[in-house]
């Protein structure tokens, strides 16, 4: 028992030595994802991060800007992950199929509450909210990339890219409501079927 207490104290001490901005940012990121953006206030974030409300506002002008910065970081990480995945494959079609296999694994094993950026877009209805702007830009770029990849694989128009976008977004929602054992586990197989339909069975 004393060992566990000591370990907890060590973790708390290490956490307290990190810059307040980092603690606030990482705490907010976790709380927004697990509890929802609207449900979490700045007081709760500051308390959980071992910081003060004043410290939070010294580092972030407002909660809205804190949310936007969290989404910007998630967007950057998302594109790094995407680029690393597609780089493993040779042909455009392999890249597309491999990407969806990776999405399926990620959704099943890592993203219990779905896509953080989708969740933000659902919660934030104001078109000019700084975080909503980030979310919309990310989703537009996702669609652009899927259309571009589908075209490179031989699709004659945007329909395959559009379909893959709908499949991806639906899979993340199914992950939230129907768990990792639900339809999300068929994401890679369904994507391959859609790709075959558009690339191998054209009139």
Provide the CATH number for the domain around residue 47: 1.10.10.60
Q: What is the mean pLDDT of residues 135-154?
A: 98
Q: What is the mean pLDDT of residues 176-192?
A: 94
Report the share of the chain in percent with pLDDT over 90.
Answer: 87
> What pLDDT is attached to residue 15?
54
Q: Tell me which DSSP letter residue 118 carries.
A: H
Same domain, 85 and 16: no
Domain coverage including residue 189: 63-203
pLDDT range class, residue 17, cuts 50, 70, 90: confident
Single out the residue in 32, 60, 88 at which a domain terminates.
60
Same domain, 110 and 12: no
Residue 89, helix vs strand vs coil: coil
pLDDT range class, residue 10, cuts 50, 70, 90: very low
> What pLDDT is attached to residue 18?
84
> What pLDDT is attached to residue 3?
55
Q: Quick one: which of 54, 65, 58 has its CA closest to 28?
A: 65
Same domain, 68 and 104: yes
Contact 113, 193 (CB under 8 A): no
Number of structural domains in the chain? 2
Could you report the per-residue pLDDT of 58-99, keeping only the tens digit for each?
Answer: 999 999 999 999 999 999 999 999 999 999 999 999 999 999
Same domain, 123 and 23: no
Same domain, 56 and 122: no
pLDDT range class, residue 202, cuts 50, 70, 90: low
Q: Tell me the CATH number at 180.
A: 1.10.357.10
Q: What is the mean pLDDT of residues 114-140?
A: 96
d(CA 159, CA 198): 8
Residues constituting the chain:
203
200 pLDDT above the threshold of 90: yes
12 pLDDT above the threshold of 70: no
Burial environment of residue 202 by CB neighbours within 10 A (0 to 12, 13 to 18, 19 or more):
exposed
Q: Across all residues in the chain, what is the average pLDDT? A: 92
Contact 164, 197 (CB under 8 A): no
193 pLDDT above the threshold of 90: yes
Please give the span between the terminal C-alpha atoms of the chain, in angstroms, as a whole number.
Answer: 70
Single out the residue in 14, 39, 60 at which a domain terminates.
60
Contact 179, 191 (CB under 8 A): no
pLDDT range class, residue 8, cuts 50, 70, 90: very low
Tokens of 122: 């659902």
Angle among Cα 42, 36, 25 to the nearest 5 degrees reads: 45
Single out the residue in 11, 44, 60 at which a domain terminates.
60
Instruction: Give one word for 107, left, alpha or beta, with left for phi > 0 and alpha for psi -120 to 50.
Output: alpha
Same domain, 17 and 96: no
Q: Quick one: which of 63, 34, 33 has its CA closest to 46?
A: 63
């Amino acid at each position: 028992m004393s060992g566990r207490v000591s370990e907890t104290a060590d973790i708390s001490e290490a956490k307290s030595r990190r810059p307040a901005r980092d603690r606030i940012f990482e705490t907010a990121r976790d709380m927004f994802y697990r509890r929802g953006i609207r449900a979490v206030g700045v007081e709760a974030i500051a308390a959980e991060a071992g910081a003060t409300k004043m410290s939070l506002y010294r580092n972030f002008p407002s909660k809205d800007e804190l949310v936007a910065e969290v989404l910007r970081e998630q967007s950057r990480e998302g594109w790094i992950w995407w680029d690393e995945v597609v780089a493993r494959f040779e042909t455009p079609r392999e890249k597309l199929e491999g990407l969806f296999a990776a999405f399926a694994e990620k959704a099943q094993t890592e993203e219990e509450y779905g896509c953080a950026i989708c969740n933000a877009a659902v919660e934030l209805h104001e078109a000019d909210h700084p975080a909503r702007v980030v979310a919309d830009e990310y989703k537009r770029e996702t669609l652009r990339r899927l259309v571009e990849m589908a075209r490179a694989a031989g699709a004659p128009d945007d329909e395959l890219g559009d379909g893959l976008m709908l499949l991806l977004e639906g899979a993340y929602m199914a992950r939230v409501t129907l768990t990792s054992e639900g339809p999300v586990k068929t994401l890679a197989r369904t994507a391959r079927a859609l790709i075959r339909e558009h690339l191998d069975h054209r009139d």
